Chain A
């Protein structure tokens, strides 16, 4: 029996939602790690029963969890994230230089080839790697020590490395995104990095609107069949590159607002892209109180609102950057969670939606595993 397992991280614990391929009836397990902020949970593509979870607390800091049985049981693993060498400084809110300080793990990206290897994107922005299933972590410091590092500055949510994409054909090639520094690419497994922000424009946000770094990239997405094509939800603007980030161009087109956080690509249609526009940088809720996912079937520029089953009045929730995911069943499913605690699912590529749960704590992340 095929089905899906949806991993939901919230402000006060984690939940696991499971269903068969119809995705109509759901089993809800949780809260796991009740009371803890669960920034992200993700499963290994190699061993789907191996799950990693980032668990943190304002009081007790960062801890990490691993499950080897699909989330039935968990064990704490290594939580020591020590920057390599002398950490140095980056730009602070007031323009002064501020020491790099570890705060939390925002995103976990398990290897596509080795179940014991997993990457962690952290705040203050850096990339860590574990090759022993999370027991120990080592920084890939070539990123933080890039010559532009002293120019990176925190966005409103902190200076976080929140997106990690591994090229499905070449694990040495990765893309990361940092708020507010921009996007970077490595071709050598994380030893050296190149800023890939040419074409981004951050007018009103940067004194040099097309600077090499400093852009507030919110999320990146790639279809595995086209690793040179990336889509980006920036602070403002939805962007696309066809040359692995060397050049970006805007594809916001007819969106009602090009501000937002998550972006995703359909599992089977590389030119079908999804975003959830919100009104502005200060009004983090959908325009007109209508929760609408927008879909482009042309790789951007032409967007259609998807509304069936979603609230179309008095809705003022947000969808955070890691809170949308797609499954790879034949009829592609989409999932997203809101700051109001709803998790919505669509089993028909976004044509229609239904809530799986309505009253969770604020949702921080949503990932889905497809079981065939």
Chain B
């Protein structure tokens, strides 16, 4: 099981808790994690990545093992710690504002 941390806005939208667990087919990548997350929580479609292009929304960040992996190719494997469930995959609203 993959552990995914949701930001507060998406917890309320999905009626989910902060950390959710989802089944993800290998290879475990950004794309397969988000695919599985959206399959489990369809209301999240369009909120993390755009409809159609499936590009990450500009103000969304992905963290894994204390690294910002937002700019990594979406089909690159995520760290083994995430793939094995030892560490969560973080979906974060980018720091912004004043």
A33-B12 in contact (CB<8A): yes
Contact status B43-A59, CB under 8 Å: no
Task: Say whether chain A's binding surface is mostly helix, strand, loop, or mixed.
Answer: loop
- A269 is an interface residue with CB less than 8 A from chain B: no
- How many residues of B are counted as interface, with CB atoms below 8 angstroms from the partner's CB atoms? 20
Shortest C-beta distance, B22 to chain A (Å), equals: 18
Given contacts A34-B12, A35-B9, contact A60 B51 (CB under 8 A): no
Type the 1/0 row for B1-30, where 1 means its CB is closer than 8 Å to any CB of A.
Answer: 000000111101100000000000000000
Q: A57-B9, A58-B96 known; A82 and B52 CB under 8 Å?
A: yes
Contacts of A352 in B (CB 8 A): none
Is residue A285 contacting chain B, with contact meaning CB distance below 8 A?
no
How many Cβ-Cβ contacts under 8 Å join chain A to chain B? 48
**B42 — nearest CB in chain A belongs to which residue?**
A76
Q: Is the CB of A61 within 8 A of B47?
A: yes
Smallest CB separation, A22 vs chain B (Å): 35
**A148 CA / B3 CA spacing, docked (Å):** 50
Q: Once the chains bind, are A63 and B59 in contact (CB under 8 Å)?
A: no
A60 and B12 form a contact (CB under 8 A) = no
A80 within 8 A of B: yes
Count how many chain A residues have C-beta atoms less than 8 Å from C-beta atoms of the other chain: 15
Flag if A59 contacts B9 (CB, 8 Å).
Answer: yes
Cα separation A57 to B50 with both chains bound (whole Å): 13
A72 to chain B, nearest CB (A): 15
Given known pairs A36-B9, A60-B9, the reply for A79 and B57 (CB within 8 Å) is no
Interface residue from A36, A59, A61 paired with B46 (Cβ < 8 Å): A61
Once the chains bind, are A59 and B45 in contact (CB under 8 Å)? no
- The residue on A at minimum CB distance from B52 is A82
Q: Quick one: which of A33, A36, A58, A82 contacts B51, CB cutoff 8 A?
A: A82
Q: Are B46 and A80 in contact (CB under 8 A)?
A: yes
Residues 34-45 of chain B, each 1 if its beta carbon lies under 8 Å from chain A, else 0: 000000000101
B93: interface (CB < 8 Å): yes
A-B contacts besides A80-B45, A80-B51, 5 pairs, CB < 8 Å: A59-B59, A61-B50, A61-B57, A79-B47, A82-B51
